[in-house]
Structure 1
Amino acid sequence: MTKLTHKKFKETYFYKAELVRICRNYGLPTQGTKAELNHYIDCFLSGIPANQIKPARTYQKAPSLKMSEISLDTPLVGSGFSFNNEARQFFATYFNVKKFSFTKEMAVIKRKAEADHNLSITVGDLINRAKEMTDSKQTWLKDLPEEQTYQWNNFVKDFCNSSKSHEFNKKMKVAAILWHHVKHSTGSKQYHDRLLDQFSEDIKPYHIKNH
C-alpha cells in the first residue's frame, strides 16, 4: 500500500469502505461511523500507536432482542437491543404507526450511550431525549462529527456533479479548498458554482487551462 501521510489523508476524500480497509491495514478498529473511522486514522497518522487507539464504542454481544422482549425499561447498552426490524416493529406499535423509521436523533443518543458505556439509559429515555432534541430545532446537529462528514459528502457529490468541476485537474483538492472556506463561514454548507468565482485565486493553480 502506498504510504499515506497525514497531509494526504486530510486532503483526500475516502469512501467508508476505503476507510475500513485503511484501518485494517494499520491494525486500527474497523467498526463505527465514517467520522469514527476518520478519527482512528487521524490519530494514527498523528503519531499515536495503533495499540493505543481503542474503539469509540462497545458493540453488541448479547443476542438481539425480539419485539416481545423490548419494553420502555430495556437498557440501550448490553441488553441485546439494536436498531433492527424487531425494534422497528416495537416503535411502530408504540407510536401507533404503520411504518416506523429510526431518526438521526435516536442514532446519536444510542451511539453516545455505547461510547459512554451507559447501562442506565433505557428505550423510554431514548424516546424522550429524541423528542427533546427534535424540539430544539436540531441546532445541536452542526457540531456532530457525523453531521460534518455528511455535509462534506454532499458538498463533494454536488461539486463533482457540476459541469464546472471538469475544468479542474485535481477535483478533490479543489473541493477541499472550497469546503475549508464554506465550513468556517456562517452561510450554507452546500456547494454552488458561485464558490468557484468567489475563491478563484485559491483554486487557480488547479485549473486545467493553467497547465
Structure 2
Amino acid sequence: MVRPEFESIRDYDEFCKYYWYREELVGICKAHGLKCSGSKIELNTVIKAYFSGEKILPEKKKVRQRGTAVKDLTLQTGLIECGFTFGNRFRDFFSEQTGVKPFKFNVDMVETVKVVKATEDENFTLGDLLDIYYGGDEATKVYSGRLKAAAALWKIVRESDLKKEYSHELLEEYKDIIDIK
C-alpha cells in the first residue's frame, strides 16, 4: 500500500491508515500553520482537529519562573513539582535507578507523563513513573530478545493498516511470526 501525499488525504480515518514519522507530522503542522511541537500523539491530535475543521495554533512561549524546579530528585518527588521533561536530567536519574545506560523512556512512560501533565496530577511521583517502566505485558517475558520481538511486531503493524498501538491481542495474533525466543 503506497501512502498518498498528505494533501490528497480526505479525512482523519484515512490519515490513520498510514505510518507517519514525527518529523513528517511536524512538517505537516508547520505547512498548515498549526501547533508543531509535542509528541507524536499530540501532533496526531492537532492533525485530527485539523480534519475536523479546527486549527490548533502554535502556543506562545511561556516564561519559566526561576527557582521553582526541585534540585534533588527522589522517587518521592512529584512529576509536576519537579517540572519533569524527557531531558538528560531525568534520563540520568532513571539510569541511576535502573542501572540501564543509556536509559530510554518507553512508550508507556511517555503516555503516562502526558496524562499526568494534562490532569495536573500532583500526587504522581517519579517512583510511580519507575513502576510504569517495570510494568508491561507479562506475555512478552517469554522472549529473551524482547526488543527484537517488539521490533518484529512493529514492522508487521507499521506496514499494515492496523491500529498503530500495542495490545496483548496483537501479540497473540502474530506470536508465530515473531517467534524470537
Residue 155 (1) aligns with residue 141 (2): no
Contact 1:71 1:123 in 2 (8 A): yes
How far did residue 3 of structure 1 move? 5.7
- Structure 1 or 2, whichever has the larger Rg, is 1
Q: Any stretches of 5+ residues in structure 2 without a counterpart? A: 1-5, 141-150
How much is the aligned-residue C-alpha RMSD, in angstroms?
Answer: 4.4
CA change 1:9–1:87 in 2 (3 A) is closer
How far did residue 20 of structure 1 move? 1.0
Give every structure 1 segment of 4 or more consecutive aligned residues whose post-TM-superposition deviation is greater than 4 Å.
1-4, 59-66, 150-153, 183-186, 189-192
The structure richer in helix per residue is 1
Secondary structure of the corresponding residue to residue 77 of structure 1 = coil
Residue 45 (1) aligns with residue 51 (2): yes
- RCO comparison, higher one (Cα < 8 Å, 6+): 2
Paired residue for 2:123? 120
Secondary structure of the corresponding residue to residue 99 of structure 1 = coil
Amino-acid identity (%): 25
TM-score (norm 2): 0.57
Contact 1:62 1:78 in 2 (8 A): no
Q: Any stretches of 5+ residues in structure 1 without a counterpart? A: 140-149, 160-174, 193-211
How far did residue 50 of structure 1 move? 0.8
Identify which of 179, 187, 192 aligns with 2:173.
Answer: 187
Identify which of 80, 84, 87 aligns with 1:81.
Answer: 84
Contact 1:77 1:119 in 2 (8 A): yes
Q: Which one-letter code corresponds to 2:155 in the other structure?
A: N
Paired residue for 1:93? 96
How far did residue 116 of structure 1 move? 1.8
Q: Tell me, in whole angstroms, the C-alpha distance in 1 between the residues paired with 2:27 and 2:156.
A: 24
Equivalenced residue count is 153
Paired residue for 1:5? 10
Paired residue for 1:69? 72
